[in-house]
Amino acid sequence: MSPKGSARVAHVNALDLLAMLWRERRTAALAGLVILALGAALVVMTPRSFEARTRLLVRMGQEYVFQPRVGAVGAGAMPRIEAIINAELRLLESPEVARRTIARVGLKRLYPDIAGAGPIAQAAAEKAFARDFTAALTPDTPMISLRFAHKNRAIAGHTLDALVAEYLAYRRKILIDPSSNGYAEQARDFARRAEVSAAEIRALLAESSVADFDGAFRSATDLLARLDLDRAVAAAERRGLEARASALRKRVAAQSAEIELYADTDAEKSAGPSRRGPNPVRQALETELYQSEAGARAQAARETALGAQQFELAARVRTLQQIEPRYRDLARTHMILEDNARAFTARAEEASAFSALQAVETDNIRQLEPAQAPLPERSLRLEIMLLALAIFGAVAGALIRGLGRKSFPTPSSAARTLDAPVLGVALFRRAA
Amino acid sequence: MTAPESTLHGVFAALDALQAPGPRCVMFMAASRGEGVSTLARIFGEQCAWRARRAALLVDLDLLRNSQCQSFIDSGVAVAESADGRLAGASFVKAVQANGVDAPMEARRLRIARVGDQRLYVTHFDTQGLKVDVRLQISNAADYWRAARAGADYTVVDAPALSRSRAGLGVAPHMDGVVLVVSGAAGSAAATLGLKAELERRGAHVLGLVYAHADRGVTLLERFFQRRAA
């Protein structure tokens, strides 16, 4: 700015500003009053709402403790309480909880203005609910503070209580019930599959006309071994008998059929030609031979019968051997399934007992007090802010007007601006 | 009507501080109307009358209104029978015809009158019967003011505001000093700066300023701060 240009403007210092404020006190008062009046009107016209409050105390609960479905590795591990509180917060803010709460309190009762909005009413109500409801952590304490604002004080409290109830029901559903259902379902599934595998085994055995695979297999192989032995014994006996018969046959051939009969006495010897008769030795040998031959034949017949039996049994063993891998496989699967079914049935029983307990006492979430909207306190914060704003407005208004006058707020400012001494100050007053 | 509540010691001090001793001519002037120039000039004139050994002369440049004389009459002060206002045959008023040629003017028009029993004389101008085609003009000549100094210790000139008339500008160079009258009225800063520049351009000596219409609160505030600073 050129010196000449700056000379066109009154030089103003802090004192001048104070003087300006004093001179423009009417403007200041007017500006302040206008701001106060507008603020008061705003406060009066703003729809009043009541904020119901309640608190939830969150403690470590069973549902957060890790219970492995299978086995016991890692059992008992639990998250930190902060994580739990955060999880509970998310649950509280879930749209599903809001939906259920709105349904419980009644859309018409809760948001009569929105209820008539037709198809979008539900969505609009949920949006409004999300706006009116706040869930917040309380620092350093395992607590969640809940607030719900509503024009009607009673509805505000009632809605917040309803929300807590719905939330507790919803979290039971989310956290507790599914696991017990799962156990029972798993147990049922295992039992069903065990049943199927048992039927398969039965069908397989029926195919081979076996009632008990292991017994049948064992007895068949045992029998086969004994038959082998019996047949070998029979063959040995037959060969022995045949050898004896052959020896006897030679001896029989060596004996003549008839021999001179001997007189016991001389008289008999002198009596005529000597008498001839069958050879008794030969007869005895022949008898023995016949017996041996018959024995050998009998052994041969036995041998044949045993061989037939052996063939038949070997075929059976082969059949059993063929189905054995499949049978073993099925049997193993069946055993595992049965074991699991048993284990899960036990778990399911345990879990259902546990959730039955949980259902009656949600011990780890406690509502500290019934929701209630306090009567609005006379907080002076708003008033103080309004007052500060009014003062600011008053000062600003006075200064804007004072500076806008482009005049000399004080004699000294005139002297500085005009570069001339103050020779006198005249206090003019209206004469009576 | 307003009544001042102040002293103008500063103006006397400034006049006394001037180098050459002798009678003083001082003019009060403002940039805009309503600053209270006439009131201040009247008060100062009265104070001058108290101080003067011979006389004090209050010259009213506002020829059409004669407000100075009228205000003495209005406040019940007896104003003596007026006499010829010319001093040593010189007048600060002249009549000019439409063609720019000076017109003759009757001697009786510029009058001078004594105020009560004070040593204060006030001028007034009789406009009755003035021809329509004649224009009154304040003379730039120095002879009237020379004569005034010869007869009076103090000559106080009440000049109309610059926004109304430039009459004061022509007279200002003949004065020992010009007192600017300012106030906190809107827009006064720029106008007064303009007036001061104009006066100085014409060779007038600006003595200083008188702050009129001062607010008592502001004055106290300023005095408080000045005392703190001292």
What's the confidence (pLDDT) of residue B106? 75
% of residues, chain B, pLDDT over 70: 97
Three-state DSSP state, B209: strand
Closest alpha carbon within chain A to B211 = A425
What's the confidence (pLDDT) of residue B59? 95
Contacts of B10 in chain A (CB under 8 A): 421-424
**Helix-strand-coil split of chain A, %, nearest 5:** 70, 10, 20
Distance in angstroms (rounded) separating the CA atoms of residues A117 and B74: 81
This complex has an ipTM of 0.86
Instruction: Place A361 in a pLDDT band, splitting at 50, 70 and 90.
Output: low
- Residue A427's contacts (CB-CB under 8 Å, 6 or more residues apart) are B4, B5, B6, B214, B215, B216, B219
- Rounded mean pLDDT, A41-56: 84
Among A58-72, A164-178, A380-394, B160-174, the minimum mean pLDDT is found in A58-72
Helices (H) and strands (E) in chain A, counts: 15, 8
**Residue A69, CA distances (Å) to A73, A185, A339, A347 in order:** 10, 12, 15, 9
Contacts of B201 in chain A (CB under 8 A): none
Distance from CA of A33 to the nearest CA of B (A): 22
Cβ atoms B18, B24 nearer than 8 A? yes
A374, pLDDT greater than 80: no
- Rounded mean pLDDT, B124-144: 85
Distance in angstroms (rounded) separating the CA atoms of residues A46 and B102: 78
Whether A405 and B196 lie within 8 Å, measured CB to CB: no
A358, pLDDT greater than 70: no
Place of tokens 């106060």: A36
Closest alpha carbon within chain B to A19 = B218
Interface mutation vs chain B, best among A418, A419, A429, most B CBs within 10 Å: A418
A237, pLDDT greater than 80: yes
What's the confidence (pLDDT) of residue A10? 61
Bridge partners of A55, per DSSP, are A145
Cβ atoms B121, B112 nearer than 8 A? yes
Q: What is the DSSP string of A195-249?
A: HHHHHHHHHHHHHTT-S-HHHHHHHHHHHHHHHHHHHHHHHHHHHHHHHHHHHHH
- Rounded mean pLDDT, A243-272: 78
Distance in angstroms (rounded) separating the CA atoms of residues B29 and B37: 6
Helix or strand run (H / E) with residue A259: strand A258-260
Distance from CA of B179 to the nearest CA of A (A): 8
Distance from CA of B82 to the nearest CA of A (A): 29
A1, pLDDT greater than 50: no
A9, pLDDT greater than 70: no
Contacts of A23 in chain B (CB under 8 A): 184, 215, 217-218
Interface mutation vs chain A, best among B218, B220, B224, most A CBs within 10 Å: B218
B69, pLDDT greater than 80: yes
Identity of residue A22: W
Instruction: Place B194 in a pLDDT band, splitting at 50, 70 and 90.
Output: very high
Whether A424 and B8 lie within 8 Å, measured CB to CB: yes
% of residues, chain A, pLDDT over 70: 86
Kindly report the CA angle at A212 between A210 and A213, in degrees rounded to 5?
75
Angle between helices A14-23 and A381-404 (to 10 degrees): 100
Instruction: Place B207 in a pLDDT band, splitting at 50, 70 and 90.
Output: very high
Helix or strand run (H / E) with residue A137: strand A133-138
Closest Cβ opposite residue B216 in set A10, A427, A430: A427
What's the confidence (pLDDT) of residue A179? 53
Bridge partners of A51, per DSSP, are A149
Regarding beta strands B83-84 and B93-97, do their DSSP bridges make them parallel or antiparallel, or are they unpaired?
unpaired
What's the confidence (pLDDT) of residue A268? 62
Higher pLDDT, A278 or A238: A238
A3, pLDDT greater than 60: no
Count of CB pairs separated by less than 8 Å, A with B: 149
For chain B, what is the mean pLDDT?
87
Angle between helices A213-254 and A280-360 (to 10 degrees): 180
Whether A18 and B180 lie within 8 Å, measured CB to CB: no
What's the confidence (pLDDT) of residue A72? 67
What's the confidence (pLDDT) of residue B27? 96
User: By C-alpha distance, which of B22, B32, B38, B20 is closest to B148?
Assistant: B22
Residues 371-410 of A with CB under 8 A from B: 404-410
A177, pLDDT greater than 60: no
- Rounded mean pLDDT, A194-200: 90
Q: How many CA atoms lie within 13 A of A357 on its CB side?
A: 11
B1, pLDDT greater than 50: no
Distance in angstroms (rounded) separating the CA atoms of residues A425 and B6: 6
Higher pLDDT, B214 or B142: B142
Bridge partners of B180, per DSSP, are B29, B209
Structure tokens at A279: 């050879």
Instruction: Place A5 in a pLDDT band, splitting at 50, 70 and 90.
Output: very low
Instruction: Place B41 in a pLDDT band, splitting at 50, 70 and 90.
Output: very high
Q: Tell me: the pLDDT tens digits for A104-126?
A: 999 888 888 888 777 788 888 88
Instruction: Place A362 in a pLDDT band, splitting at 50, 70 and 90.
Output: low
What's the confidence (pLDDT) of residue B3? 41
What's the confidence (pLDDT) of residue A421? 92
Cβ atoms A57, A366 nearer than 8 A? yes
A69, pLDDT greater than 90: no
Other beta carbons within 10 Å of A177: 15
Closest alpha carbon within chain A to B15 = A423
Contacts of A422 in chain B (CB under 8 A): 10, 208-211
Distance from CA of B49 to the nearest CA of A (A): 19
% of residues, chain A, pLDDT over 90: 29
Whether A415 and B209 lie within 8 Å, measured CB to CB: yes
Contacts of B213 in chain A (CB under 8 A): 426, 428
Interface mutation vs chain A, best among B74, B215, B223, B227, most A CBs within 10 Å: B215
B145, pLDDT greater than 60: yes
Most confident of A78-92, A272-286, A292-306: A292-306
Closest alpha carbon within chain B to A422 = B209
- Rounded mean pLDDT, B135-161: 92
Contacts of range B49-54, beta carbons closer than 8 Å, 24 or more positions apart:
B49/B115, B49/B118, B49/B119, B49/B120, B49/B154, B51/B12, B51/B153, B51/B154, B52/B119, B52/B152, B52/B153, B52/B154, B53/B153, B54/B119, B54/B151, B54/B152, B54/B153
Contacts of A403 in chain B (CB under 8 A): none
A9 — contact with chain B (CB < 8 Å)? yes
Q: Tell me: the pLDDT tens digits for A297-314?
A: 999 999 999 999 999 999
Q: Tell me: the pLDDT tens digits for A380-432?
A: 788 889 899 999 999 999 999 888 888 888 888 889 889 999 998 888 654 33
Q: Where are the alpha helices (DSSP H) in A14-94?
A: 14-23, 25-45, 81-92
Residues 41-100 of A with CB under 8 A from B: none
**Backbone angles phi and psi of A188, in degrees to 5:** -65, -40
What's the confidence (pLDDT) of residue B174? 94
Contacts of B14 in chain A (CB under 8 A): 421, 423
A123 — contact with chain B (CB < 8 Å)? no
Regarding beta strands B154-158 and A276-278, do their DSSP bridges make them parallel or antiparallel, or are they unpaired?
unpaired
What's the confidence (pLDDT) of residue A57? 87
User: By C-alpha distance, which of B103, B43, B109, B48 is closest to B72?
Assistant: B43
Distance from CA of A13 to the nearest CA of B (A): 12
